[in-house]
Amino acid sequence: MKIGVIVPRSQLFPLVSLQFCDGMELAKSECSDKTIQFVIEDGGNGGHNETILSKANKLLLQDRVDTVIAYTGGKTYDDLWGLFDKQKKILIQADMGGFVNYPVITSPYIFHHSLQEWKAAYQSGVYLASMGYKTVLMCLSLMDVGYHLQYAFVKGFESAGGSYVGYITAKMKIDDAFCEKLNEQLEKTKPDIVYCGFAGDDAIAFLSATSAIFDKHDVVLAGPALFTLPEVMAMHKGFKKEIYTASSWYPILDAEYNVKLKKSFESISDHVFDRFSLLGYECAKTLIACAAYNESGRFDTATTASNIRNYQLQSPRGNCSYAGNQYINGDSYIASVKDNSKESLITTIASDMEQWRIDNMESHPNEGWLNPYPCT
């Protein structure tokens, strides 16, 4: 089986393509079929439609791949999915699931393989409101604001009785003027929670500059999982209240399969098994496990597609399934960080929200340029 792969580039996440491909190699290393090939193409920023279509056509027409995994953003979906539907070739569309509203083309050949981070954000809002927190102030980075994740959080928070009391957006660099404005907003709105749309180095700078302000106002923080990465928490000192996050996967999950896969990954990569690696692993494992061939040994597209729809995927994040549909679904997890320690898992949320997403988000506009990374 020859698998075409389109991967993105990122300044904020420079290892994204390498980690994703290493995850695919991990899946390949688990199977006995040594004829599996990956043909990898650079998809640029993952959001430019003409670039992605050009790469997809090259893979189909020149490289003659049997199927394609495309890690690209929502702006590319309509034309990319239409191309594969017409060509009658299987496409696994991969992304972190950081945005809520995207089209669904009904096709036996198109599969959306996502970590559904928007669902985790929604459920974290539901959870925190049900815990008695009733007001939230949105505090967002200009670099990595996570439009759809913060919107999903607010919708979940409101659905459980909470209310949104305002927002503040940081400039490119956290400065004294921003901190003064933040303090004023906290004085004015007196929220129970501040949702922080920051990640990576941006999160370190944000927490270093604002932790004393948050302590003064005795508020709890919440944010996407990238807000509480170990490297962020290791650099940040002094915040005494909890920080809540939600995600489809945490490295600290103690499931036997999770532990095993992280160790296996170390044997093929010099990097740490992360969400990009997990996504690549799941997509490749799905295709490898479901691949079917006819009597002459040729790849059987129709049977493979049917197998994917009925496949129960064993993943480091738990069991996932397409359940007869064209989108993957799995559990989400709520976690907290306290006293600058590591994440502690609080609860598991098993819910299929895809129909809810379609019913409630179909009429909403897509904001931003919809790149394929975790937050935006």
Residue 103 domain flag: yes
**Residue 346 is part of which domain span?**
119-247+332-361
Confidence of residue 49 (pLDDT cuts 50, 70, 90): confident
Q: pLDDT tens-digit profile of 121-166? A: 999 999 999 999 999 999 988 766 577 888 899 999 999 999 999 9
**pTM for the structure as a whole:** 0.92
178 and 193 part of one domain: yes
Note the pLDDT tens digit of each residue in 333-351: 999 988 767 788 999 998 8
Give the separation between CA 94 and CA 42, rounded to whole angstroms: 15
Same domain, 201 and 344: yes
Pair (96, 29) in one structural domain: yes
Q: How many domains does the chain divide into?
A: 2
Residue 9 lies in a domain: yes
What is the residue-wise DSSP string for 67-112?
Answer: EEEEE--GGGHHHHHHHHHHHT-EEEEEE----S-------TTEEE
Angle between helices 275-290 and 301-309 (to 10 degrees): 120
- Looking at the domain assignment, is residue 353 inside a domain? yes
What's residue 343's pLDDT?
A: 84
CATH number at residue 86: 3.40.50.2300
273-296 tens-digit pLDDT:
999 999 999 999 999 999 999 999
| Residue 75 sits in the same domain as residue 222 | no
Residues 140 and 196 in one domain: yes
Same domain, 46 and 166: no
In a domain, 366, yes or no: no
**Based on the domain organization, do 15 and 58 belong to the same domain?**
yes
- Identify the pLDDT of residue 172: 76
